[in-house]
Amino acid sequence: ASPLGSRAKMRICADGGANRIFDEMSQMTNDLDRNRYIPEIVEGDMDSIRPEVKRFYSSQGSKISDKSHNQETTDLHKCISSIRHRTPDHEKANLCVLVTGALGGRFDHEAANINVLYVFSDMRIVLLSDDCLIQLLPKTHHHEIYIESSVEGPHCGIFPIGAPSTSTTTTGLKWNLSDAEMRFGSMISTSNIVDSDKVTVQSDADLLWTISLRNLT
């Protein structure tokens, strides 16, 4: 999380995510100075963030964006909307949103977070965990995925989570798909292997791409 944080232009904590930064960031970096890791914004319905954490970040200049009146959207959705709103149009094409803490845990939360990728399909949003990352490949585009083999791979997969695919074609994988059908209840691509520095994917369905992350010690 520390390398990601130091590269980011904007850092947002979704509600209890602020607790996580407060408690865990300094442990990871051996840096007792919490002041180095101040989010620009803390956003959400504020039912998880501890009061002392909220006070600390507020006193350090974080904007506290209380959206507790809006119970219709998840915290991640609110954050993505907020980022989108604050990004000038000319920068939108180069924007990539990196999300930690969206996978694992409660399955309905994970599903809702994955759904945010579909709802905001014109944005680059990457969900990351210790084990892997996932990203949406919208059907409207032919995709080129550059593999950073020092940090990711070799295990990967492609999933038609929203709707089946009648035709998907890939290159760069150990088991490539060639005009293949993919469907839950039939074949989906799991435990595939990246075999090249570049993977390409083209499909008639929105697909979820995942690749394993190497343990960086």
DSSP state letters, the chain? -HHHHHH-S--EEETTHHHHIIIIIHHHHT---GGGS--SEEEE--SSS-HHHHHHHHHTT-EEEE-TT--SS-HHHHHHHHHHHHS-HHHHTT-EEEEES-SSSSHHHHHHHHHHHHHTTTSEEEEE-SSEEEEEE-TTS-EEEE--TTTEEEEEEEE--SS-EEEEEEESBSS--SSEEE-TTS--EEEEEB-SSEEEEEESS-EEEEEEE----
* Contact yes or no for 148/212 (Cβ under 8 A): no
* Residue 185 binds another protein, judged by CB under 8 A: yes
CB of 65 to another protein, least distance (A): 15
Q: Select the residue interacting with another protein from 43, 176, 194, 203 (CB under 8 A).
A: 176
* Residue 86 binds another protein, judged by CB under 8 A: no
Instruction: Give how far the C-alpha of residue 79 lies from the chain's centroid of Cα atoms, to the nearest Å.
Output: 12
* Residue 126 binds another protein, judged by CB under 8 A: no
* Residue 109 binds another protein, judged by CB under 8 A: yes
Q: Select the residue interacting with another protein from 60, 86, 105, 214 (CB under 8 A).
A: 105
* Residue 34 binds another protein, judged by CB under 8 A: no
* Residue 186 binds another protein, judged by CB under 8 A: yes
Q: Select the residue interacting with another protein from 12, 43, 62, 77 (CB under 8 A).
A: 77
* Residue 74 binds another protein, judged by CB under 8 A: yes
Residue 13 vs 134, nearer CB to another protein: 134
* Residue 70 binds another protein, judged by CB under 8 A: yes
Residue ranges in contact with another protein by CB under 8 A: 70-74, 77, 81, 84, 89, 92-93, 103-109, 111-112, 114-116, 118-122, 124, 129, 131-132, 134, 138, 140-142, 144, 155-157, 159-164, 169, 171, 174-178, 180, 183-192, 200, 206, 208, 210, 212
